[in-house]
């Protein structure tokens, strides 16, 4: 009878060791080797610089990683007592990633901008003349004079302050995040800066000149447009009925020119798979030569950052500018921007009237469902109003494409009236405008 084991004498140690070698020698050795390999892997993951750098430069880095980068900026500030600050700065600059060094712009991470300017009282009612401002000289750095700039929009952003400054012989606007902003607001601010930088340059988009992201105050530096937003400009033209201000001599031909510039920017955004979603006179900036540049990109960024809930992120306080499908909380599309563009043309030819002024915003969708549309203003030619109607078709598939829109604007510019200056009955009453534009109404969504 065979057996896998042999009987060993009690004093035969060699025999006993051979019989139990699997349990006594081999298994402990394997356990020790496995433990050493596990510890080596953990050490590589935690302390290998190459692995950390690959994570830092990944294009899919999320907002929490961006926030950790901001914390890294705080560590950099705590080391300002370094006896060789310039060497430390240049060393740190080589390792900046993402929004700290967006391609094609001049980031200003290491600028110190003491915002000790005298605050200007901001009333709810916009002033038609500039309020007196006390300039404050910077102690050092690239910015020259820094003065407070009141918000020109109807609903100011409580987390952002605006300043006018000089940088490299240019007038710039500083959009500065208040230091009381929460971590979420900081991530949104820096994410928006990265989003704008990623769009790239276009002649009819404001030029992004820099992003201060390494130390507070965080800011976005954008070229200044002399006449600021188009809505305020149109209202000032109402005030100047005498025509004493040459820039307010707005003709229908000039409307076609400015609208063509906005349409060009809109087409460029669409080519970048970016739907603006906020087209209106309030989101257009006007330069010294009455050139128009499309701004107001916050809704576009929110829509991209909060993808998956398109109906929740639209700014529904601007319902009278939104296409029917957006009012019905369906998916927004490029043709939705074309609808809003038609409303922009209406604003321009009326010098800033609110669209659908006779309706409450909550009644607008049903009004459009019944086949009603904008009425033709007395100052609007048949050719311009035909273009407005072509943009504001109820069915989104029947609206003009941006390429066709640009062609019609170019053709209309050649034949438009360039002599008759547009006039309006009188200055805007701000309270009436808020009511007619639908601000502050309770939300009431109908379904198509």
Whether pLDDT at 134 is above 60: no
How do the domains of the chain map onto residue ranges?
98-106+135-224, 228-437
Cα 370 to chain centroid distance, Å, stands at 35
pLDDT digits (tens, 9 = 90+) for 392-425: 999 999 999 999 999 999 999 999 999 999 998 8
Q: Say how far apart CA 27 and CA 393 lie, in whole Å.
A: 79
Q: Global pTM?
A: 0.68
Query: Taking the alpha carbons of 66, 300, 128, 172 in that order, is the dihedral positive or negative?
Result: positive
pLDDT digits (tens, 9 = 90+) for 2-33: 444 456 776 676 776 677 666 667 778 888 88
Q: Hey, what are 437's tokens?
A: 């534009």
- The fold adopted by the segment(s) 98-106+135-224 is Phosphorylase Kinase; domain 1 (3.30.200)
pLDDT, averaged across the chain: 75
pLDDT, average across residues 356-374: 94
Cα within 13 Å of Cα(212), Cβ side: 21
Other CB atoms within 10 Å distance of the CB of residue 416:
19
CA dihedral angle for residue 343, residue 344, residue 345, residue 351, rounded to 10 degrees: 110
pLDDT band at 199 (very low <50, low <70, confident <90, very high): very high
pLDDT digits (tens, 9 = 90+) for 316-357: 568 999 999 999 989 899 999 999 999 999 999 999 999 999
- The fold adopted by the segment(s) 228-437 is Transferase(Phosphotransferase); domain 1 (1.10.510)
Same fold, 98-106+135-224 and 228-437: no
How many percent of the chain have pLDDT more than 70? 64
Cα 332 to chain centroid distance, Å, stands at 17
pLDDT, average across residues 220-244: 85
CA dihedral angle for residue 329, residue 330, residue 332, residue 333, rounded to 10 degrees: -160
């Amino acid at each position: 009878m065979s057996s896998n084991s042999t009987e060993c004498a009690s004093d035969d140690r060699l025999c006993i060791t051979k019989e139990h070698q699997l349990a006594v020698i081999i298994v402990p050795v394997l356990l020790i080797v496995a433990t050493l390999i596990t510890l080596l892997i953990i050490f590589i993951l935690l302390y290998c610089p190459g692995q950390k750098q690959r994570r830092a430069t990944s294009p899919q880095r999320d907002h929490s990683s961006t926030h950790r980068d901001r914390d890294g900026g705080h560590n950099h500030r705590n080391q300002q007592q370094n006896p060789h600050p310039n060497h430390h700065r240049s060393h740190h600059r080589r390792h900046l990633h993402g929004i700290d060094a967006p391609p094609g712009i001049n980031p200003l991470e290491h600028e110190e901008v003491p915002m000790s300017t005298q605050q200007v009282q901001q009333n709810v009612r916009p002033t038609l003349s500039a309020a007196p401002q006390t300039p404050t000289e910077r102690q050092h750095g690239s910015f020259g004079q820094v003065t407070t700039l009141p918000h020109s929009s109807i609903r100011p952003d409580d987390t952002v302050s605006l300043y006018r400054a000089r940088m490299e012989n240019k007038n710039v606007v500083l959009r500065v995040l208040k230091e009381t902003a929460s971590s979420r607001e900081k991530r949104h601010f820096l994410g928006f800066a990265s989003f704008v930088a990623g769009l790239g340059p276009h002649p009819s988009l404001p030029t992004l000149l820099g992003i201060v992201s390494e130390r507070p105050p965080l800011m976005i530096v954008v070229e200044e447009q002399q006449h600021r937003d188009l809505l305020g400009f149109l209202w000032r033209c109402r005030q100047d009925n005498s025509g004493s201000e040459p820039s307010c001599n707005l003709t229908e031909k000039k409307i076609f020119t400015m609208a063509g510039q906005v349409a060009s920017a809109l087409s460029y955004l669409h080519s970048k798979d970016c739907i603006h979603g906020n087209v209106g006179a309030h989101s257009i900036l006007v330069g010294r030569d009455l050139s128009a540049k499309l701004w107001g990109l916050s809704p576009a960024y929110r829509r991209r950052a909060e993808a998956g809930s398109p109906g929740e992120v639209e700014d529904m306080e601007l319902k009278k500018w939104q296409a029917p499908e957006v009012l019905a909380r369906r998916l927004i599309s490029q043709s939705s921007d074309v609808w809003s563009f038609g409303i922009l043309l209406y604003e321009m030819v009326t010098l800033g009237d609110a669209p659908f002024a006779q309706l409450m915003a909550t009644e607008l969708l049903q009004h459009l469902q019944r086949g009603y549309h904008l009425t033709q203003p007395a100052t609007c030619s048949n050719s311009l109003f035909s273009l407005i109607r072509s943009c504001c078709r109820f069915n989104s598939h029947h609206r003009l494409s941006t390429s066709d829109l640009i062609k019609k604007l170019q053709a209309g510019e050649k034949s438009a009236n360039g002599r008759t200056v547009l006039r309006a009955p009188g200055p805007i009453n701000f309270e009436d405008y808020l009511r007619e534009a639908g601000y502050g109404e309770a939300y009431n969504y109908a379904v198509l």
